[in-house]
Amino acid sequence: MKEIRYFYCPDISVSNELPKEEFEHAVKVLRLQPSDTCVLTDGKGNIYDVAISSVTKKSCTFSIISQRQLLPTWQGKIHIGVAPTKNISRIEWLVEKATEIGFDSIHFLDCQFSERKNINIERLDKVAVAAMKQSHKSVKPELTSFIDFNDFIRKPFDGNKYIAHCYDDKDIGNTSEKQYLPYCLQSSECKDSMVLIGPEGDFSIQEVRMALDYGYQPVTLGPSRLRTETAALLAVTMMNMNNVII
């Protein structure tokens, strides 16, 4: 069976020309010609079957054959907040794999023990686009730039709010024990969830306490001590599996 190639065209509603990056791949790598067909997505849930109309050295235009909506395979909204690792390739890996699994947004947190204070959001967005196309999804996850942890937890969020940390409950002064994240998700009727994952040195105790004050529920992802990017991907997977539409 011929492989279906997805291309990302966020401006398809106002333009029938492939963006530069997609033009390079479609024409110079795949050598698509007039009358060849392919699939485009605007990253907002819409899929377009198109036919190539014209190809020049600098542009490739298309005509739309049909349009349809391809809804996510999960209910509600899946959000993750994570402090980027010192090795940025691990965060690129996280964005790629989380996009393949399926989630809605990732927020990069500047925490007290963060070892990285900057990220190239454009580079990470390209990773997300490539993973979206490879996994044949129609919605590109939202990536937000650095935000101070204290500012982030003060933002309103209408859904389940969780913070995963490695401290003992007695260290935090929390009166209730951390719950296993899947149990929390299964017991909630709300399908919108946010999980916060700390840096390689974990959140500070002060940050955890502040999150609890703002309504975040402490959770555990299991008995193993996980790397930041592994913990974040596991949290995304748990939320996706809980919300999957069968």
For residue 238, give the CATH number of its domain: 3.40.1280.10
> Which structure tokens are listed for 2?
């011929």
User: What residues make up the domain containing 39?
Assistant: 6-69
Query: Residue 235: inside a domain, yes or no?
Result: yes
* Domain end position, chosen among 69, 90, 105: 69
* Domain end position, chosen among 69, 101, 121: 69
User: Count of residues for the chain?
Assistant: 246
Query: Residue 93: inside a domain, yes or no?
Result: yes
Residues 16 and 134 in one domain: no
User: Considering only CA atoms, which of 20, 31, 22 is closest in space to residue 58?
Assistant: 20
Q: Is the pLDDT of residue 222 over 50?
A: yes
Residues 11 and 89 in one domain: no
* Domain end position, chosen among 25, 43, 69: 69
User: Considering only CA atoms, which of 12, 2, 71, 4 is closest in space to residue 41?
Assistant: 12
Residues 209 and 142 in one domain: yes
Residues 158-188 have pLDDT tens digits of: 999 999 999 988 888 876 688 999 999 999 9
Residues 8-55 have pLDDT tens digits of: 999 999 999 999 999 999 998 989 999 999 999 999 999 999 999 999
Query: Residue 1: inside a domain, yes or no?
Result: no
Which residues sit opposite 195 in a β-bridge?
80, 162
Q: Report pLDDT for 175.
A: 66
Q: How far apart are CA 54 and CA 236, in angstroms?
A: 41
pTM (whole model) above 0.85: yes
Spatial neighbors of 244 by CB under 8 A, at least 6 apart, are 73, 74, 75
Number of domains observed in the structure of the chain = 2
